[in-house]
Amino acid sequence: MGASGGHFSRTPATLVLRDLPMSPDLSPETVTPYIPPREP
């Protein structure tokens, strides 16, 4: 097997985070928003 990565598809994936624990160290202001890449 080569290291070309030909077995991986190029379809975009979406990561959905639910029920995030909100603590003083993890507030909605400190969570980095997800910005999808322009190039799939």
What is the C-alpha separation between 9 and 36, in angstroms, rounded?
17
- Assess whether pLDDT exceeds 70 at residue 13: yes
CA 2, chain centre distance (Å): 26
Mean pLDDT of 2-31: 65
Burial readout 4-37 (b: 16 or more C-beta within 10 A, e: otherwise): eeeeeeeeeeeeeeeeeeeeeeeeeeeeeeeeee
Residue type, 3: A
Contact indicator for 20, 31 with CB cutoff of 8 Å = yes
pLDDT > 70: percent of the chain = 38
